[in-house]
Structure 1
């Protein structure tokens, strides 16, 4: 299970994706401003955790191919279609000599159906649509909070507060220091960066 933490929550009108900003190697923190959320299209993002080289290479490969699809066809892939392409790519490489060791969350807004979508996918290419999920050891502390506090009709402020509760619990219970989380929202208006969530006592 990863030391990194990815959290995704799907609401009726938007999806929130939060990731820690620490790049950890063994007992060392190599970066404190890492961006693990990749924009795949105007209404789709992917949060990736795993081996440092694999995460960047895989995410860029998926993003460029989704952009190529738009250039060739004149329209963007729906979130669920992008997930199928991503899963196929991951499964194909799993059966090769160069598998990608990545776990990811994909969240987006389907402007045709006016619905939000969130998918979990692990390094074995298992993919499941979810209302909320958390990867890494942090998920052990946050899933119960989301079980208790989640409602699909929450507004942006309420969803953000739910994320803050989850991250505060990670800070309180997890021995590894993950002081800062990046948060992005996907809605009908597109992708928007929300203020970082910083653990109490840490500098922004």
Structure 2
């Protein structure tokens, strides 16, 4: 029931991930961070099995930092996505596969272009202008396709994410009221304010008790 979304524009790329941590039918936490900072210009959103998500994201982040220390330069977004894909493919053919779906977002300081890469648990990897994982993606991909504009400003990009999150809140049976949002551009990675959805403002009917009906105890 998790949701992870990413949108690439001409000058920056946005990632948004829901904040809820679910186990079975229980909501364990509402302040979960599912977006990992890999380097100054590279971030990764991860959803999937809880243990797999934590272990794989830690494994990838530490090894990318190790590569930087050994070689004195950072991996480009494309190189990082290829490295992640290779590890997913390796573990997929082992006894301990990682059931995780990812979006890798970054800014290539050589080409001066933002990048967004879609990866799934079967080690699929491809660059995309926008993407979504989870049940929320079933409701947002068509909306993204309709309203996406590559030359949008940061404010317009955030507005686009908000429209997608509002659609998820309206249609998905599970409530995902808050999303963590991050941006990567030529100035690097930074957190943006969370997008929090208020159901009554969306016109969602909230049942009210009938004062004329008394309860018999």
Q: TM-score, normalised by structure 1?
A: 0.97
In structure 2, the residue matched to 1:90 is: 88
Matched, 1:7 2:22: no
In structure 1, the residue matched to 2:148 is: 150
Which of residues 71, 74, 93 is equivalent to 2:72? 74
Matched, 1:137 2:154: no
- Find the residue that maps to 2:174 and give its secondary structure: coil
Shift of 1:144: 1.1
**Counterpart Cα distance in 1 of 2:188 and 2:113:** 13
Q: Return structure 1 stretches of 4+ with deviation > 6 angstroms.
A: none
**Counterpart Cα distance in 2 of 1:116 and 1:60:** 23
Q: Deviations over 1:42-88 (max 9, x none)?
A: 10000000010100110010000000000000000000001111000
Question: Within 5 Å, which residues of 2 pair with 1:17-36?
Answer: 17-36=15-34
Matched, 1:42 2:40: yes
Which of residues 173, 176, 197 is equivalent to 1:175? 173
In structure 2, the residue matched to 1:52 is: 50
Q: CA RMSD in A?
A: 0.9
**Counterpart Cα distance in 2 of 1:64 and 1:52:** 18
The alignment of Structure 1 onto Structure 2 pairs a total of residues equal to 200
Q: TM-score, normalised by structure 2?
A: 0.91
Q: Is the 8 A contact 2:169 2:199 kept in 1?
A: no
Which is greater in Rg?
Answer: 2
Shift of 1:201: 4.7
- Find the residue that maps to 2:37 and give its secondary structure: strand
Q: Which runs of 5+ in 2 are unaligned?
A: 201-217
